[in-house]
Chains A and B, each alone.
Chain A
Amino acid sequence: AQSVSQHNHHVILSEAASLELGCNYSYGGTVNLFWYVQYPGQHLQLLLKYFSGDPLVKGIKGFEAEFIKSKFSFNLRKPSVQWSDTAEYFCAVNRNNNDMRFGAGTRLTVKP
């Protein structure tokens, strides 16, 4: 079945450590890619998105993601995490302008 896979279920880092969260999808053809963040008790908010063009996308709060078409991947990165980045992160894929499918999420805990 076509899907969105996030390999890390729970990541624990210390402040100032670098972050990389993996996301792979199995859809063929043209896709739109997204990363969303959900802070505790809140709804999902967009971090960044990729539609076309430069495969290195910069988002809010210092996050970036790289689209590697050959690997069907869209990994999220941040050079130096802060305690306030503690949240759950979701990768999402929209294919052919239809429904948007989400990965299972990665919970990030940043220790002060």
Chain B
Amino acid sequence: NAGVTQTPKFQVLKTGQSMTLQCAQDMNHEYMSWYRQDPGMGLRLIHYSVGAGITDQGEVPNGYNVSRSTTEDFPLRLLSAAPSQTSVYFCASRPLMGELFFGEGSRLTVL
């Protein structure tokens, strides 16, 4: 059982480049979300989705886009990377009533 799978695990970008962090879950969870983790700030919610075709903004959505075309996938797009987006990104999913299951994380560095 793979759970929540994120790719890539590591990425280095130059300012202004775009990229997509992939997230897939095989648990048939309705809810999926993206967090960023920065030292001393805990996890901050970027975007979330309660089902296919439905997305909503979290605490820090600026500079990021998401889509949810299937139940399984929830990619996070950085449109024009900035150094402030250097962070560790976690994808997580859960059933509508339940706890979050996290991916392994993606470490992004923007130069």
Contact = CB atoms under 8 A, between A and B. Distances in A.
* Chain B interface category by residue count: 20 to 34
B58 A99 contact: yes
Given A99-B33, A99-B48, A100-B100, A43 B43 contact: no
Contacts of A12: none
Nearest to A43: B102
A43 B42 contact: no
A45 B92 CA distance: 11
Main secondary structure of the interface of B (DSSP, over half): strand
Contact of A43 (B48, B50, B96, B103): B103
Contacts of A101: 45, 59
Interface in B56-111: 56, 58-59, 90, 92, 94, 96-97, 99-100, 102-105
B42 A90 contact: yes
B102 A44 contact: yes
B41 interface: yes
A14 B110 CA distance: 39
Contacts, number: 51
Q: How large is the interface on A (under 10, 10 to 19, 20 to 34, 35 or more residues)?
A: 20 to 34
Given A34-B99, A49-B99, A99-B58, A104 B42 contact: yes
Given A43-B104, A99-B33, 15 more contacts: A32-B97, A43-B103, A44-B43, A44-B100, A46-B100, A49-B99, A51-B97, A90-B42, A97-B96, A97-B97, A98-B50, A100-B100, A101-B59, A104-B40, A104-B42
Interface of A: 6, 9, 32, 34, 36, 42-46, 49, 51, 90, 92, 97-105
22 contacts: A6-B42, A34-B100, A36-B100, A43-B103, A44-B43, A44-B100, A44-B102, A45-B102, A49-B99, A90-B42, A90-B43, A92-B100, A97-B96, A98-B50, A99-B33, A100-B100, A101-B59, A102-B35, A102-B44, A102-B45, A104-B42, A105-B42
